[in-house]
Amino acid sequence: MAATFRKQRPRSGILGPVKTLFLTGGTGFIGAAFVPHALAAGYQVHALTRRPATLQPWIQKGVVPVEGDLLTPDAWRDIAARSDFVMHLAQPETFTRRITGARAREYRDLRLRMDTNLLDSLRPGTGQRICYVGGTSYIGHQGPELKDETAPPNPRGWGPYVAPAIESLRGHLARGLQIVEAFPGAVYGPGSWFGGYVLAPMKAGKPLISVKGPLLHTSPIHLEDCARALLHLMEHGEVGQRYFVVDDRPATLADLVQRAAQAMDVPLRVRTVPAWLARLFLGPVIEDSRKAEYRLSNARLHATGFAFQFPTFAEGVPDVVKRWQETQR
């Protein structure tokens, strides 16, 4: 399929100039939640994909597939350059096997290549806005105090392997690209880790696996609020600024799991394993990431005017449980 650029009125019939959006990672966990919000906002979405068939449900709703690979700088780059907005969600696959140091270094190199191929294709001075989605592993271990975006990063686990790509953004900003950085926290939804490792075994009456050690806090965010916040920041975030995309209340994984058990009305069963066993099966990179504690402030995101649908996990987890249960029928 040849890459083509269509600037047509979206099927929603929204009046006014058509806003074109180039999207990477549209079939991923966050991307699949982001697409309907972008369509509802009137964007003509051009979604980069290696396999256009995977986008078929969205194509029927007006998404334009762009066949290509971020690792191969070919015709898709012209479409990216001519779009009004760019949402960059894609990253190399990470959880296909045990994460060793060699696998993490491969990820580091691939991510930097993907980012470079995309960002080098974009042209300063066009008014184009770019939302770059990073990860809190780069922010790393921040301890028990609430921290905002001015906190010095302390990359841990995945963090050192993500760092080269994120730190390269300074050069792209210096040459005039209008980049807004978004850092989602622990995104929970009916798919991905929360559905597969929490809800499914809980429904089956199987014990959840917990690693022995202190209960560390993270900063969660409901999948739908994450998708909505990214769209909001793409439009309204301040260029050159970093935003934590997290809800109002830090939590431990145990907090989320207990709330899920309450929402499902099932007993919570947990099996605790020693840290050395988790390190053996997950690999040292994931185990080091697991030890990071971060309680992040969303004050900067709130200041842009963004309103949460699920301000904390207490409201968000029951909604996710309901959505997940509907997919099981």
Amino acid at position 277, single letter: L
Q: Is the pLDDT of residue 2 over 80?
A: no
- Average pLDDT of the segment spanning 291-311: 96
| DSSP secondary structure of 175-213 | TT-EEEEEEE-EEE-SSHHHIIIIIHHHHTTPPEEEESS
- Average pLDDT of the segment spanning 285-297: 86
> Residue 12 has what pLDDT?
42
Phi, psi of 311 (to 5 degrees): -65, -30
Q: Is the pLDDT of residue 231 over 60?
A: yes
> Residue 1 has what pLDDT?
42
The structural domains of the chain, ordered by start, are: 19-188+220-248+296-311 (3.40.50.720)
- Which of 12-21, 128-137, 195-204, 238-247 is the least confident region? 12-21
- Which of 11-20, 27-36, 131-140, 168-177 is the least confident region? 11-20
Beta strands in the chain (DSSP E): 19-24, 43-49, 64-67, 85-88, 129-133, 146-147, 178-184, 186-188, 208-211, 217-218, 220-222, 242-245, 251-252, 270-273, 295-296
Q: For residue range 187-217, what is the model confidence (pLDDT) as tens digits?
A: 999 998 999 999 999 999 999 988 888 889 9
Determine the 3-state secondary structure of 282 from DSSP: helix
pLDDT tier for residue 9 given thresholds of 50, 70 and 90: very low
Helices 223-236/29-40 angle, 10° precision: 60
> Residue 6 has what pLDDT?
55
Phi, psi of 195 (to 5 degrees): -70, -45
Q: Give 271: exposed, middle or buried? Use CB within 10 Å, 0-12, 13-18, 19+.
A: exposed
Angstrom distance (rounded) from CA 33 to CA 31: 5
Q: Tell me the pLDDT of the chain averaged across its residues.
A: 91
Record the pTM: 0.92
Amino acid at position 20, single letter: T
β-strand pairing of 85-88 with 129-133:
parallel
Q: Is the pLDDT of residue 98 over 60?
A: yes
Determine the 3-state secondary structure of 20 from DSSP: strand
Q: Rounded to the nearest 5 degrees, what angle is found at the Cα of 54, between the Cα atoms of 59 and 136?
A: 105
pLDDT tier for residue 229 given thresholds of 50, 70 and 90: very high
pLDDT tier for residue 5 given thresholds of 50, 70 and 90: low
| CA dihedral over 183, 187, 191, 195, signed as positive or negative | positive
SS (H, E, C) 220-246: EEEHHHHHHHHHHHHHHCCCCCEEEEC
Q: For residue range 233-287, what is the model confidence (pLDDT) as tens digits?
A: 999 999 999 999 999 999 999 999 999 999 999 999 999 988 878 778 777 787 7
- Which of 16-20, 66-70, 122-126, 234-238 is the least confident region? 16-20
- Average pLDDT of the segment spanning 40-46: 96
Give, as one character, the DSSP assignment of residue 248.
S
Helices and strands in the chain: count of H runs, count of E runs: 15, 15
Q: Is the pLDDT of residue 117 over 50?
A: yes
pLDDT tier for residue 84 given thresholds of 50, 70 and 90: very high
Q: Is the pLDDT of residue 164 over 50?
A: yes
